[in-house]
Chain A
Amino acid sequence: MISPIELSIIPVVAFIIPVVFVVVIGNDRQRLIRMSFSVSALASFISVVAGAMAVAGHSVEQVVLPLGLPTLPFHLRLDQLSGFFIFVVGLLSFFVSVYSVGYVSGLGAGKPVKRLIVFYNIFIAAMLMVCLADDALCFLVAWEVMAASSYFLVMFEDGRSENRRAAYLYMVMAHIGAVLILLSFGVMAGVTTGFEDFSCYTFDAMRAAKFPLKWATVAFLLSFFGFAAKAGVIPFHVWLPEAHPVAPSNVSALMSGVMLKTAIYGIVRITFDIIKVFPWWWGTMVLVLGLVSAVMGVLYALMQHDLKKLLAYHSVENIGIILIGIGLSMIFTSFHLPVMAALALIAGLYHTMNHAMFKGLLFMGAGAVLHATHERNMDEMGGLIHLMPWTSAFFLVGCISISALPPFNGFVSEWLTFQAFLLSPSLPIPMMKLLIPLGAALLALTGALAAACFVKVFGVIFLGNWRGHSQHVVTEAGWSMRAGMSLASLACLCLGVLPAIVINWMDAISESLLNARLVTTSGVYGWMWLTPVDPERASYSGPLVLIGIVAVCAVTYVLLHVKPGNISRVPVWDCGFKKLTPKMQYNAVSFSMPFRRIFGFLFDIKEQIRLTPQRQHPAFPENSQYYLRVRDRFWGWLYRPVIDRVVLLSRKAGMLQHGRIHVYLIYSFVTIIVLLALL
């Protein structure tokens, strides 16, 4: 019998096979795409199995690879937490790889498909390695490979300058993050043994160490902000809406769906597994940043009319929701309330999995739409539900899930987070008792705004009439794209309807990290009822709600159709005004107008209306122009000043460099003299 950790290393190696294919059968494009993505799908599927087994197996396994530095070989470790993340990464990679067969074939002939295949596979393998790594070196190597390969994927269409700019911004942010994480590992390793040998860089040594509070805080803050830069927590989110839209959609699905989650993995690993004991204000900080990201993320998303940019801002929102769960869990842990901490942690992790599923689904759907319409601007679309019935149905599932509506999965994790919020009265600090419920209100606001945003997205893209100028022929996505999306939709439904089974399985994570289990089952039909804490306190039955609504709808339908009713199809009633055009529909900009009015103070908005008056009478303008620009305030507040300073400083430093050899000789000479004088 093969052990889970061996099983989880197989896919990491297997992801190299497609890279070999590129070399061997690189000229036969269709065959290359079909074979390499099939192998990727298979490898991902193996890691799903390995992850599921690791979580269910209640065991911890370690392996030392004969790779890496002589004194610090790569340590790998598979416990419940890494098993869970491997499961999530594998599951979405499986769906996306199935989808990619069709998606990549449909890309234009001139696109660098080979490069896409190579980096796509290295990218997934690196994400799996990040979850497996058990020492700082291995972790950082995997982390950097992940960042570098995704950089090349963002650079996919490098002919356009905005794509190069986005990729560059992403690279800078990723590296600021990586440096912070590196420093954090340095601090932790230094405290562990005082740098006697390299073994202090293994996570095992760090786990065994007791950190003084001062150093633990330094390490936590460094690593948290390092991971936050990767996860896109506000104010480190600026790269997300730039990088996600320009990457190919299958890559956006993976980046948004699972790459951001590796940062969540890092945060959980370092706080709950390595540092373990921490004061309450850490959790409060995470909670507050999570709330800010959630609300600001969804508000920024609401203002967008570029579909992929909008989805990227929603990733900021959902990372915020995940951090709310993790922050609450940290607060409960620091007050020694393990069961409540377990509930909040499970809520955060469940949302991690849910977000991977529905955001992957939405990006895949967006890819299908982009593929069919060659448009990213939603205001140029409309009525696609008639032309792409399958894609629209899957996309609708994603929209309902992300809006946290029952019976789909987003609702379950939000419900669990609300339950965790409701337990806050057990906290001993009165001020927190008062303020934490306000967090729940912000979460409710986030959910409602997300619903509004996805009414806009679905309504503008799929419903109504075609708004665009182009007369492009829109066709339904191919079978493999539909297969990938249908699998993800099915996952959204199952996670929403049968959460009790999944949470029972996930409970092993909270047991291994917090030594506490949730009460999830009650009675014989335990799988039907989700009852965290205890059945008296709260319960939700996804299956019953779903069956109930479906049954009532079906009965009503049958009763109303006993007598064959007449449905007549007629043109839309235009109130006698004979010029009803598609231009008169609400579009993305007009839909979000009330929200711009109410929440406008949070944005940098520039709105101009220019009317050209007609000669006869000014009341009937000849034509009108509307200009709207909504910008992220953080760019002006935080990034612009920093960039300006850096440019200024480098210009000053640049004055030292003249390119004349004798000046450089003088520099060296002065340096030597100074050093001699000092030493």
Chain B
Amino acid sequence: MKALNLIFIEILQAIVVIALAPAFAGWVDMLKCWTQGRTSAGVMQPYRNIAKLFVKDVVIADNASWIFRFTPYLVFGSAVVVGSVVPIISMNLFLAPSADIIVVIAIFATARFFMALAGMDIGTAFGGMGASREMMVASLTEPAILMAIFTVSLAGRSTSLLHIARAFASGALVLRPSIVFAGIAFVLVVIAETGRIPVDNPSTHLELTMIHEAMILEYSGRHLALIEWGAMIRFFLFVTLGIACFLPWGIAVTDNAGDIATSIFLMVIKLGVAGTVLVVIETGLAKMRLFRLTEFLGAAFLMATLGVIAFFILE
């Protein structure tokens, strides 16, 4: 019975992640429309987009190789795998020990590696440009994200996501300076990793500002649907990863149905708030020039380093 419960929770979480990710992306888009004084298409618009893309035919360039066709599946698959190890609705995930927080970041990096390769596969200038820029941003983000992780795992005495979340959830609600610094760094990193303003603009098709969009410019049909969906799941997961590390209160510890339901309800509220915060940042800032990103990501790295220093000096 116990084992069945665990499998059920695992499957439930995967379904929640896959199904709710477009809604979260839609929520952020909707808020963004409102704050910019536009009419929005509603929370459900990403679902309609994906559904539309799935029924369309695939058009591929003549010289595309298997890497181009394989990448969408890998992007989607890796996102789903990560979705089943991050404690989102419950802290009793039997798959969670298979990947700690460093592995989670590395799985995302694998997906990005293939995405960049797919960008270079066709041999157009846009694809190469996107790949080059994406890898540049990634190489600057990686040290910052690692330092943020480092702070959290020093405080939680583990790199396992479950243990970090449990350690914080069971502790009292105190303001720890190290965690605050790490949290700020994490927010900056999430903005960079998920390609949002001021690092990248998800809704642009202007050649000079594209990063992510430039890489996937040649995709169409179900391939594009998978990539878009994968990117939404990735966005969703980065936010829930932040929640699990910094605000884990309310994630179900036991596996009875009531707790899980409360946990899902709390998750929706937290996501709603997190989305609002991101939209405020995004609307308040303008897209940065590519080579000013070093300052932005340098700031993230500095914050995370301050977190580590604060941990050793103050705690």
Instruction: Identify the A interface with B (CB < 8 A).
Output: 382-383, 385-386, 396, 400, 403-406, 411, 415, 418-419, 421-422, 425, 430, 433-434, 437-438, 440-442, 444-445, 447-449, 451-452, 454-456, 458-460, 462-465, 529, 535-541, 544-545, 548-553, 556-557, 560, 565-573, 580, 582, 584-587, 590-595, 597-598
Contact = CB atoms under 8 A, between A and B. Distances in A.
Interface of B: 54, 57-67, 73-74, 76-78, 80-81, 84, 95, 97-100, 102-103, 106-107, 109-110, 112-113, 116-117, 119-125, 127-129, 131-133, 135-136, 138-147, 150, 153-154, 157-160, 163, 218, 221-222, 226, 290-291, 294, 301, 305, 308-309, 312
Contacts of A553: 73-74, 76-77
B81 A545 contact: yes
A459 B120 contact: yes
A591 B132 contact: yes
A595 B97 contact: no
- 3 closest pairs, A vs B, by CB? A586-B128, A464-B123, A459-B120
B67 A385 contact: yes
Contacts of B116: 455, 459
Given A434-B308, A463-B65, A422 B153 contact: yes
B120 A570 contact: no
A386 B63 CA distance: 8
Given A455-B117, A569-B60, A537 B136 contact: no
Contacts, number: 251
A452 B134 CA distance: 9
B15 to A, nearest CB: 13
Interface centre among A430, A556, A597 (most CB of B within 10 A): A556
Residues of A contacting B: mostly: helix
B305 to A, nearest CB: 7
B136 A438 contact: no
B73 A594 contact: no
B122 A464 contact: yes
B4 to A, nearest CB: 19
B36 to A, nearest CB: 29
Contacts of B163: 536-537
Contacts of B61: 569-573
Nearest to B222: A560
A444 B123 contact: no
Contacts of A465: 63, 123
Contacts of A535: 97
Contacts of B62: 569-572
A581 B64 CA distance: 16
Nearest to B69: A567
A256 B67 CA distance: 29
Contacts of B133: 594
Contact of B102 (A415, A541, A571, A592): A415
A597 B132 CA distance: 13
Contacts of B58: 565-568
Interface centre among A383, A448, A458, A582 (most CB of B within 10 A): A448
A447 B160 CA distance: 21
Given A556-B76, A565-B57, A591-B131, A540 B103 contact: yes
A448 B145 CA distance: 12
Given A455-B113, A557-B73, A590-B128, 20 more contacts: A405-B113, A418-B146, A441-B143, A448-B139, A452-B138, A458-B117, A460-B120, A463-B120, A465-B123, A529-B98, A537-B158, A548-B77, A548-B95, A553-B74, A569-B61, A570-B61, A572-B61, A586-B127, A586-B132, A594-B136
A405 B110 contact: yes
Contact of B103 (A406, A552, A566, A590): A406
Contacts of B59: 567-568, 570
A419 B159 contact: yes
15 contacts: A385-B66, A451-B138, A459-B131, A463-B67, A529-B98, A537-B163, A539-B160, A549-B77, A549-B81, A553-B73, A553-B77, A565-B221, A567-B57, A568-B59, A594-B136
